[in-house]
Chain A
Amino acid sequence: MKRLSFARLNEFFAAIAASNALYLPVDNSKGKAEYKKWQEGTEMSRQLNTLRSAKDFFFPQTENLMEFKMDGKSVEVIDTRREAEDFVIFGVRACDAASFKILDSVYLVDPVDSYYKTRREHGVVVTLACARPAETCFCKVFGIDAADPAGDVTAWETDEGLMLRANTEKGEKLLSLTAALLEEGDERAVEAAQEKTREIIEKLPLSSLSTEGLGAGKTAELFDRPEWKALSEACLGCGTCTFVCPTCQCYDVRDFDTGNGIKRFRCWDSCMYSDFTLMAHGNSRNSQVERFRQRFMHKLVYYPDRSGGTFGCVGCGRCLSRCPISMNIVKVMKTLGGKNK
């Protein structure tokens, strides 16, 4: 356990930024936190969490895959990948840190997604334990401890300063870069901070949410439940929930014809969109109720089916505060889950 006095936080960031691109949550013009590249003078946001999740670092909304150049009647294929930069993300919360595991389980298994893998390899995640979780938080429901997040390095804001613990080799390496600024820290300060956080979590209205009746093996029971219709009735079919979600991982591959050639890129897709999984024969999910069901079944049943019971949701609460019509996974769980009735 290392300790960094808050007074030296800036030096700490500077030391990291010297050899890495350092990203951390910063308040934007609307007072909402978003990840920005650190530079001298950048102030870290005091918000609980960023508006968009940290998945963007490994799985950006759009990325170029390759290009085709056309000259008259000939076509040339160009690999557009460039050497990736080393980067550090500071201030990732437990929920987003947990989401990386879910993304890894999709993109790092065979066939490995090389674009994702490269980014993962070059990225170091420094998590920050939550001090004051919000009413929309329900990570506890999925066994995530907001007071003890994963990541290459875990940090706690304590009365004695910022406490840092390296969890991986990458994490050790990062802390060694800043060794000059760090002192040995006292575990007890961390425990005290964790104690406080956990007390708050106990009081949060959604901490008691139950997953009973949901999870692996429940497809048959849940798929045809009549409640889907009422739940999805108000859904606008926008992609907000999926785009702010740290675990949504679907993408679409598109070609952009520049007139001189094709740029093939991928971009996030949303199962809420009417053209999601559109195939030559048409669409397999024609109505919003089907698309809506797909999203929540995926998070609550299909993913657990394939991952030994782990849910595809990390309880970050972003969809709760961002959905234009306030329909969300919690309402779905409460309606369909056994114990929440």
Chain B
Amino acid sequence: MQRIGVFICHCGTNIAATVDVKAVAEALGREPGVVFSTDYQYMCSESGQTLMRDAIREHKLTGVVVCSCSPRMHEATFRKAAEKEGLNPYMVEIANIREQVSWIHKDIAEATEKAIILGRAAIAKVHLNKPLTAGESPVTKRALVIGGGIAGIQTALDIAEAGFEVDIVEKEPTIGGKMAQIDKTFPTLDCAACILTPKMVDVAQNEKIRIFSYSEVESVKGFVGNFKVAIRKKARYVDEEKCTGCGICTEKCPQKKVPNAFNMGLDTRRAIYIPFAQAVPKVATIDANYCTMMKTGKCGICQKFCGVGAIDYTQKDQIVEREYGAIVAATGFNPMKPTQYDELGYATCEDVVTSLELERLMNAAGPTAGTLLRPSDKKHPHTVVFVQCVGSRCDAENEKGKPYCSKICCMYTAKHAMLIREKYPDTEVYVFYIDVRTPGKNFDEFYRRAVEQYGVHYIKGQVGKVVEENGTLKVQASDLLSGEQLHIDADLVVLATAVEPDKSARSIATMLTASMDTNDFFTEAHAKLRPVESPTAGIFLSGVCQGPKDIPETVSQASAAAAKVIGLLAKDKLTCNPCVAESDEMLCNGCSSCEKVCPYGAITYADKEFRGPNRTTLIRRVASVNAAVCQGCGACTVACPSGAMDLKGFSNRQIMAEVDAICKM
């Protein structure tokens, strides 16, 4: 029989105002096995913990029940306190009488009764608790960063800086991400390439960092400290080791009609290509969808011209298995394609472009070599209309768009407007907005410069229709402040489309068992206090994959994630969750039912010799659980028909004891 101590927390008045704590202490004190029962103002306080520790010592307690707030809040606190007094921490159970009682019930009698019942359930469970010892598992001192944009780059650099190995998996042929496509950055207007490419070079040169470009994560197994990841290196048909990035192949390739994705399809490239001059790794890639050799078997020009023999048309996808202690998701975003907005004419008018396309049209390395020319007739636009919040801040019922604010559009549009006005003062620039949001250091100043200094026409209102007529874009809009309908003849319309998480994020989240919100942004472990960690241990979040951000915010979050990873990798061993599954070999049938539902591959089988009846021996196949690998979900315990598989800390008997206590008359 256990000797159980029960402690009822008042939580100030949080509990005590609704629950008659004295009555609860008195009622639970009468339960079999309870040798001490008391109430206290703040059990989690230093003095509350001392009270508990004194009672453990004085009353020789073997089990403790704390009736207080959610175990998600202070279970660890009370377990630690018990441990300090020599009591196994897993002999402590919490009855949640705050979130589940005092905060939701008003009637004192009813709340008190429920608190007593929850207390009884916890006592019933403690009666069956057994001391548990946490095992340890080693930490693989290497991190994986999924995504090689500025977020991934910064995280990788910081982790490498601390002396740990980092791998970056980037699905494109080069790292750099969206930032590499941007022309200038707000609010300082420095050139994105000028600040990004040195970091890309740092990555390439850092001995601790290995880049898997043109690669994707294929599968993730394992758990914090011990992930096993299969990486698919997609065939680029060019030997990365041999290729020097000289670019001769990309000049000689006869297939010139490939839409250039880096320039948002505004110009073309060859079938063999290097996305941009500063690409890292600077290695060519063959686009098998366009390569004549790959499609017809006739051509081979690039191979002929390649001085180092790097071209290999027979290359196959390769799976690389790597082990990691931590994984960072930095999967980034894409601007939404606004094709579903017929009224804005993106799909029909060549001169309706997205903001990112405009970036390329203004970039010196872009399709127009930095001169702003509109796509249709390559003429300089004299009237430019910007439309804000395309696909952002939509009603929940609006299936075309996103409910959230994409956060960066107001600022980059101000930047675009300003740059156009500065370079081409003869251009009239209109910005249609719902609100202008400029919280950030020097942001509002920046925006005001656009309005006041550069004379950009900011109009609060919505664009209703854009149609092309004889090379002119007829823009119909409403000015909400004056209530007038406006008709503007524009040469170029720029849509600030919503930021949306990269399509690959969903499947990566599933592999990582990291949760996502309804918009497919990764969920953080705590919105305020743990913003760079996923709820899944060992998985961290960097950049826009967690939510819309600008570059400085992305970089700071990237460094924060790196700090968390470093904190993890700095440990030699991790304490395992002792609440893991355990197989009773005497009952095990070896039927493999449990193995089939284990997400971690924690169950293995072996033939073992057992004593049969009357001095015989027999050999049976039985399961055993790798305690370091098991995460304690309990799927196996239900799959097991014989009841051989049970979960420590949440055993069949314990849960049924709780059921019994709750349902008791």
Contacts and interface: CB of A to CB of B under 8 A. Distances in A.
Q: Touching in the complex, A and B, CB below 8 A?
A: yes
Interface of A: 70, 72-73, 257, 259-260, 286-287
A232 to B, nearest CB: 13
From A72, A73, A259, A286, name the one whose CB has the most chain B CB atoms within 10 angstroms.
A259
B641 interface: no
B665 A260 contact: yes
B665 A73 contact: no
B614 A286 contact: yes
Given A72-B32, A73-B30, A259-B661, 4 more contacts: A72-B30, A259-B665, A260-B665, A287-B614
A257 B32 CA distance: 14
A70 B32 CA distance: 9
A126 B32 CA distance: 52
A73 B123 CA distance: 14
B439 interface: no
Nearest to B657: A259
Nearest to A274: B613
B32 A286 contact: no
18 contacts: A70-B32, A72-B30, A72-B31, A72-B32, A73-B30, A73-B32, A257-B660, A259-B660, A259-B661, A259-B663, A259-B664, A259-B665, A260-B664, A260-B665, A286-B613, A286-B614, A287-B613, A287-B614
Contacts of B31: 72
Interface in B19-61: 30-32
Interface in B618-665: 660-661, 663-665
Nearest to B665: A260
Contacts of A259: 660-661, 663-665
A260 B661 CA distance: 9
B548 to A, nearest CB: 54
Nearest to A259: B664
Interface of B: 30-32, 613-614, 660-661, 663-665
What 7 A-B pairs have minimum CB-CB distances, sorted nearest first?
A286-B613, A72-B30, A259-B664, A287-B613, A259-B660, A286-B614, A260-B665
Contacts of A257: 660
B203 to A, nearest CB: 64
Contacts of B665: 259-260
Nearest to B30: A72
Nearest to A285: B613
Contacts of B663: 259
B643 to A, nearest CB: 15
Contacts of A286: 613-614
B251 to A, nearest CB: 83
Contacts of A72: 30-32
Contacts of B614: 286-287
Contacts of B32: 70, 72-73
Nearest to A283: B613
A286 B32 CA distance: 37
B656 to A, nearest CB: 11
A260 B30 CA distance: 14
Contacts of B660: 257, 259
A216 B398 CA distance: 91
A55 to B, nearest CB: 31
A239 to B, nearest CB: 19
Nearest to B664: A259
A287 B30 CA distance: 46
A76 to B, nearest CB: 14
Contacts of B664: 259-260
A35 to B, nearest CB: 35
Contacts of A73: 30, 32
Nearest to A287: B613
A193 B395 CA distance: 93
A334 B269 CA distance: 96
From B660, B661, B663, name the one whose CB has the most chain A CB atoms within 10 angstroms.
B660
A257 B614 CA distance: 34
Nearest to A282: B613
Contacts of B661: 259
A231 B377 CA distance: 99
Nearest to B660: A259
A312 B547 CA distance: 82
A81 to B, nearest CB: 23
A96 B223 CA distance: 67
Contacts of A260: 664-665
A287 B612 CA distance: 9
A73 B665 CA distance: 16
A249 B613 CA distance: 26
A72 B664 CA distance: 13
A285 to B, nearest CB: 9
From B613, B660, B664, name the one whose CB has the most chain A CB atoms within 10 angstroms.
B613
A73 B30 CA distance: 7
A259 B32 CA distance: 12
Nearest to A73: B32
Nearest to B33: A73
A223 B31 CA distance: 53
A209 B79 CA distance: 73
B530 to A, nearest CB: 41
B216 to A, nearest CB: 55
From A70, A257, A287, name the one whose CB has the most chain B CB atoms within 10 angstroms.
A287
A202 B381 CA distance: 119
Nearest to B661: A259
A259 B661 CA distance: 7
Contacts of A70: 32
Nearest to B27: A72
A257 B124 CA distance: 13
A260 B614 CA distance: 41
A298 to B, nearest CB: 20
Contacts of A287: 613-614
Nearest to A257: B660
A72 B663 CA distance: 16
A72 to B, nearest CB: 4
B501 to A, nearest CB: 50
A259 B121 CA distance: 11
A73 B27 CA distance: 12
B120 to A, nearest CB: 10
Contacts of B30: 72-73
A239 B299 CA distance: 82
A286 to B, nearest CB: 3
Nearest to B32: A73
Nearest to B613: A286
A286 B614 CA distance: 7
A70 B120 CA distance: 14
B4 to A, nearest CB: 12
